[in-house]
Amino acid sequence: MIRVGLSEGQASAILTADDAYVARDALTGQGLDKFAGNTLTTITVKEKKLAINGKAISAKAVRFLIADSRTMRYLSVAGKKYHGNIVLTLAKDGTITVINEVKLDDYIGGVISEEMSPGWPMEALKAQAVAARTFAVYSLGLHNEDGYDVCATTHCQVYGGIESESPEGLRAVSSTRGEIMTYQGKPIYAAFHASSGGMTAGSEEAGGIALPYLKAVRDPLDNATPNREWQVSMTAKELASDLAAAGFRVGTLKAIELTPLKIGEGAADRYASGRLKQIRFIGTTQSVVVPGPKLRWIVGLPSTLADIRYGTEKKTTLNEKGKIEISGPNTVIVFQGTGRGHGIGFSQWGAKAMAAKKKYRDILSHYYKDVEYSFLF
């Protein structure tokens, strides 16, 4: 079982099921109420207590279950159907937290098609299933303070319950049933992203610690990614103002220092894959050094496998000298790069291309080094 936080801060929650269902005190297991199938139950907060259909109860958390667990019937909350149980808890601030207690592979079934199109090759889908399952197991307890394991957003993994399932996604989950990647016997941090842009990132490249199984690797088949090459442009003035808004005040921008990009070549200011480690911005009041991953969010870059062009609206020149002199506030600065996402671990577009010839474990072992495969059940 995994506890997935569906929503927080709710004043109320509305539940139903397509068969008879019951409510129990989630801590003691004591029965609280019974409901016929297809009837709505409203849970609110009344005088700092949970209330079922307006009647306050002493339980701090209520578990809703299908009465006959042998039936293939499901609970719905906020209009969406879920496998497993729904638990509603009273948070410290007096609001309701909605949690889905679900078997791990039923959860992965509601994740995989949010992450990868069901129309993609089966070996890519299987690789995604194993990566998503491993990521989930690694993340167990991440949201313990909120009373659950993982949230249902991009912070952990997007999960939409039964509505998000697809036959192909479910097939990929069942044909890799319980399978995860481990390193020295432990589940790995199975990060993944949309497109590596030609080379993945080591785990340290997005500001994390260096993990032995997450090293930068060449990813030549990633080149079929649509919109893989991208550009983000702005004037020097706009760039200085974006930097200032993030706390990096330089005054008027005068110059930028950055080693030219060569994919797969590190430098003092670039990681091993070539991704931005830091950029120096020189201004009239001071110069600042901005970490690459931070710059990505400040100016909205699809990835940090990037370089800079500069010039006028009509003509820009690629950064080849490592130092860009800015002639005025209207100088155009173009960040140009390749790939989408943080670049760590499994590249979904790379996997899609690789799946034409390779099995899912070969795909995964390309991105995650020296991992082993084991089964949880």
Residues contributing to the site for Zn ion (CB under 5 A): 151, 155-156
Least Å distance, CB 99 to Zn ion, is 13
Cβ pair 304, 337 in contact under 8 A: yes
- Give the residue with the Cβ less far from Zn ion, 94 or 141: 141
- Give the residue with the Cβ less far from Zn ion, 156 or 333: 156
Least Å distance, CB 40 to Zn ion, is 29
Cβ pair 43, 97 in contact under 8 A: no
- Give the residue with the Cβ less far from Zn ion, 155 or 359: 155
From first CA to last CA, the distance across the chain in angstroms is 12
- Give the residue with the Cβ less far from Zn ion, 156 or 243: 156
- Give the residue with the Cβ less far from Zn ion, 9 or 31: 9
Look up tokens 């394991």; give the residue.
149
Helices (H) and strands (E) in the chain, counts: 7, 26
Q: Which amino acid is at 276?
A: L
Least Å distance, CB 138 to Zn ion, is 12
Q: Is 31 exposed, middle or buried, given 0-12, 13-18 or 19+ CB atoms closer than 10 A?
A: exposed
Least Å distance, CB 2 to Zn ion, is 12
- Give the residue with the Cβ less far from Zn ion, 156 or 172: 156
For 274-330, give the DSSP string: S-BSEEEEEESS-EEEEEHHHHHHHHT-S-S-EEEEEE-SS-EEE--SSEEE--STT
Least Å distance, CB 155 to Zn ion, is 4
**DSSP, res 362:** H
- Which residues is 318 bridged to in the sheet? 309
Least Å distance, CB 100 to Zn ion, is 14
Least Å distance, CB 250 to Zn ion, is 35
Cβ pair 165, 109 in contact under 8 A: yes
- Give the residue with the Cβ less far from Zn ion, 139 or 273: 139
Cβ pair 120, 353 in contact under 8 A: no
Signed CA dihedral, 260, 263, 267, 271: sign only: positive
**3-state DSSP helix/strand/coil percent for the chain, to nearest 5?**
25, 35, 40
- Give the residue with the Cβ less far from Zn ion, 151 or 301: 151
Least Å distance, CB 376 to Zn ion, is 21
